[in-house]
Amino acid sequence: MVTENRSSSEGLPKLVVCVGAVVLQGHRALFVRQARGHPLEGQWSIPWGFVDPDESPDSAALRETLEEGGVEANIEGLLGIQQLHQEGWVAIVFLCQHLSGVPKPDGGIETDRAAYFSVQEMESFDEPFESWCEWLVRRILGGEYRIIPPEPLNPYRPLAAYL
């Protein structure tokens, strides 16, 4: 938890960057159920987490997908940026495609279940989905989105750019 939202060296705001991944396999999206002790305990969400100091947001999204959901994915593009409830926190959200693996949780560290859901399966499921993740996935599975694809001619290659 962040207790101080100012950089001690410059007095400038500190930004906490989270990432999320909407991973598609056909007409289904990957969800993970948050484990006991997590602030979203018992709720299904997309794989998400913090960007570590030594990684890029796109690498962090793929890492979180593998760690929390047990699948490897490929980034199709940037879906957008969401301001989070905690001041100074933002989430960068990517659209991904399933590459390999079978959904599996991380053993209860952060997630205790993982599965792909269609809209119809979400509607008939009797466990709660985190509201923003459910809203986002419903939009994507309903075709109500645009992505910004990676820009391969970016002069900063191999660093990713979505422009």
SS (HEC) of 63-80: HHHHHHHCCEEEEEEEEE
Going from the first residue of the chain to its last (163 residues), give the mean pLDDT of each consecutive group of 10, the final group possibly shorter: 44 83 98 94 96 94 98 97 90 98 95 98 97 98 96 88 89
Please give the CATH superfamily to which domain 16-141 belongs: Nucleoside Triphosphate Pyrophosphohydrolase (3.90.79.10)
121 φ, ψ to 5°?
-65, -35
Q: What is the pLDDT at residue 134?
A: 98
According to DSSP, the residues that pair with 125 across neighbouring strands are none
Q: What is the pLDDT at residue 12?
A: 57
- CA nearest to 136, candidates 71, 91, 74: 91
Q: What is the pLDDT at residue 94?
A: 98
Q: What is the pLDDT at residue 37?
A: 92
Q: What is the pLDDT at residue 80?
A: 96
Tokens of 4: 């101080």
For the chain, what is the largest distance between any 2 Cα atoms, rounded to a whole number of angstroms? Answer: 52
Q: What is the pLDDT at residue 8?
A: 47
| Residues contacting 125, CB < 8 A, separation 6+ | 44, 117
Q: CB neighbours (10 Å) of residue 28?
A: 19
Task: State the pTM of this model.
Answer: 0.90
Q: What is the pLDDT at residue 35?
A: 96
Q: What is the pLDDT at residue 159?
A: 82
Tokens of 105: 């949780």
Q: What is the dihedral of CA 7, 12, 14, 17, to 10 degrees?
A: -140
Give the DSSP H or E segment for 92.
Answer: strand 89-100
Domain boundaries, the chain: 16-141
According to DSSP, the residues that pair with 25 across neighbouring strands are 28
